[in-house]
Structure 1
Amino acid sequence: MDLDALRLLIDVARHGSFAEAARARATDPSSVSRIIAGLEAALGFRLFQRTTRRLTLTEAGALYLDRATPLAESLEEAADEARANARGPVGTLRLTTSVAFAQIRLAPLLAEFRVRFPALKLELLATDAKLDLVAERVDLAIRLAPEAGNDFIGRKLFAARYRVVATRAYRQAAPALDRPEDLRRHRCLRFILPEFRSRWMFRDAAGLVTEVPVDGDITLSNALVLHGCALAGLGPALLPEWLVGADLAAGRLVDCFPMLEAGGGSFDSAVWLLYPSRKYLPNKVRVTVDFLTTLLKK
């Protein structure tokens, strides 16, 4: 059995479309159709029912796929372990995260990644869109959320603490900004997500929570641009420590409320490493998980 053809069969069944499977593999749909037709000819039965509107597995196809999928994983595992034993992790690893996290936290690690895994290719999908990890054939995702979710295996990298920051020049020229309630008198720089856009939360050492409505004339969909506007002195912004830590240390920005925890919709946000749940974790994924866990944890 051709393992590549078997992998393609699994992809087509998952996507429910030759065209979508071809797009995910960056190949031509006619090539996908030809390989599946060859597989059906070799097996002696149809795997899919084809109509102009949809593609579904036949009863025989569903039975075959159910038995063949574990076999494909076992063959991949055997080949992966043999390659790893011979020359380390190989292949292409697809990793996705936000644009800001990719630039600030991941880009500085890529030189070390290349040195450690010279035979492993990396495709870094830096996007603020929440990609479908299965449909896009993503091996790993780094996401900022209160929890990992139930659809994937999640490993917490570190807590994502937030700060309300501004430049010293802004604070000297603007109205007083000594208490969270003072934000009502400022044109805040706001992130477009609902939990960050209209109300910021604060918690003191005793656990008392204060919610403050915020307003402003600049609302942004990208954390890097929001960060840049804060550095330009356009107003206070709620940003994560991993993004503004160097600016706070250098004095380019100041923490407006250093004695308080700050947040959008939650104080429990964290940076999570996610990967699709499967019986066998490929070596390329396993070593990358260990690499990122070691170097990104605070």
Structure 2
Amino acid sequence: MDIAALRTVQLVAQHHSFAAVARVLDVDPSSVSRTVAGIEAQLGLRLFQRSTRTLTLTEAGALYLDRIGPLLDDLDLARDAAAEISTRPSGRVRLTASVAFGHDMIVPLLSDLRSALPEIALELILSDQTVDLVGGQIDLAIRLAPAPKGDLISARLCATRYRVVAAPAYVQTHGAPDTPAGLSAHQCLRMTLPEYRTEWRFRQQQAETVVGVTGPILISNALALRAAARNGLGPALLADWMTQRDLKDGRLVDLFPDHQVTATTFDTGAWLLYPSRAYLPAKVRAVIDFLRARLR
């Protein structure tokens, strides 16, 4: 029986949709439907109950997938163990990150990654939505957050610090606040995320201050938020890895260089996450080691 076809059946069971699986695999939905029908024909039983709006496992389908799931995992482990014999890691690695982090931090490393790991094909999936690693068949994710919780394996890639920045032209026109509380007199540029749009937190010598921020412009993407700050539209809260070059070149100024700033918690960072597995493929380990060496 075709192993790839069985994996497609697994994905259909996870997503309850031929169209969703087609998007994951980048194929036509009719191809997914034909694959499932082919497996059902070989087995002589119906795996899914279909209607115009729903797609659910039959009792026989649920029993069958429960039995073959561990077998498919064992095949993965056997394949990866065999590949480990190779002196150079090879194969496709699917890596997801936020649009801004991928644009600013990962894309500039692609040339070096290709030189260091020429037999690895990297698929970089940039999204500001939280991608399901297991359902989306993602090998590795980079998440910007406090320490992650859950079933995924996590390792800190690098610490992050946030800054409140503005363009020099904005400061010349509107002045710079003397204290964080002075931001209340300014129309700030804000992210649409709930924890970023209403309050910014400041800390200096262990004394913490929470400042309410307002402003008519809310932006869902960090790259666009940085562009708006560069254009002098107001102060913005941005990560240090997004602002260090602009601060050095004078396109932005740090309004509170003596403060630690955050919207959530001061212990934030970029985290590498990957599915919990008994065996980590050599190709994924190689990419993890490369990223940690370059971004630590």
Q: TM-score, normalised by structure 1?
A: 0.89
Change (3 A) 1:88 1:71: farther
What secondary structure, in the 3-state scheme, does the structure 2 residue paired with 1:85 have?
Answer: coil
Deviations 1:131-153 (A, max 9, x none): 33333332222111123131422
| Equivalent residue number for residue 230 of structure 1 | 229
| Equivalent residue number for residue 196 of structure 1 | 196
| Equivalent residue number for residue 8 of structure 2 | 8
Deviations 1:170-199 (A, max 9, x none): 334323422111112222222222222222
Aligned runs of 1:234-273 on 2, under 5 Å?
234-273=233-272
What secondary structure, in the 3-state scheme, does the structure 1 residue paired with 2:86 have?
Answer: helix
Aligned runs of 1:25-64 on 2, under 5 Å?
25-64=25-64
| Equivalent residue number for residue 286 of structure 1 | 285
| Equivalent residue number for residue 182 of structure 1 | 182
Aligned-pair distance for 1:287? 2.0
Change (3 A) 1:169 1:45: closer
Deviations 1:215-265 (A, max 9, x none): 223322221122122223332221111111122233332221122111113
Question: Do 2:84 and 2:281's aligned partners in 1 also have CA atoms closer than 8 Å?
Answer: no
- When structure 1 is superposed on structure 2, of 125-134 and 109-118 the one drifting more is 125-134
Q: Distance in 1 between matches of 2:280 and 2:51?
A: 35
Change (3 A) 1:54 1:78: same
Q: Distance in 2 between matches of 1:287 and 1:194?
A: 36
Gaps of 5+ in 1: none
Change (3 A) 1:275 1:174: same
Q: Distance in 1 between matches of 2:83 and 2:13?
A: 28
Deviations 1:253-291 (A, max 9, x none): 222112211111322222112223334433332222222
Q: Give the AA of the match of 1:134.
A: V
Q: Give the AA of the match of 1:59.
A: E
Q: Give the AA of the match of 1:104.
A: D
| Equivalent residue number for residue 213 of structure 2 | 214
Q: Distance in 1 between matches of 2:289 and 2:114?
A: 15
Question: Do 1:175 and 1:185's aligned partners in 2 also have CA atoms closer than 8 Å?
Answer: no
Question: Do 1:171 and 1:177's aligned partners in 2 also have CA atoms closer than 8 Å?
Answer: no
Q: Give the AA of the match of 1:7.
A: R
Gaps of 5+ in 2: none
Aligned runs of 1:3-152 on 2, under 5 Å?
3-86=3-86, 88-152=88-152
What secondary structure, in the 3-state scheme, does the structure 2 residue paired with 1:86 have?
Answer: coil
Q: Distance in 2 between matches of 1:53 and 1:176?
A: 56
Q: Distance in 1 between matches of 2:85 and 2:107?
A: 28
Q: Distance in 2 between matches of 1:88 and 1:70?
A: 28
User: RMSD value over aligned CA atoms?
Assistant: 2.2
Q: Distance in 2 between matches of 1:283 and 1:57?
A: 34
Aligned-pair distance for 1:84? 4.3
What secondary structure, in the 3-state scheme, does the structure 1 residue paired with 2:265 have?
Answer: coil
Q: TM-score, normalised by structure 2?
A: 0.89
Deviations 1:96-135 (A, max 9, x none): 2122111110111101111222232222122223333333
What secondary structure, in the 3-state scheme, does the structure 2 residue paired with 1:265 have?
Answer: coil
Aligned-pair distance for 1:90? 3.4
Q: Distance in 1 between matches of 2:229 and 2:51?
A: 54
Change (3 A) 1:236 1:18: closer
Identity of aligned residues (%): 53
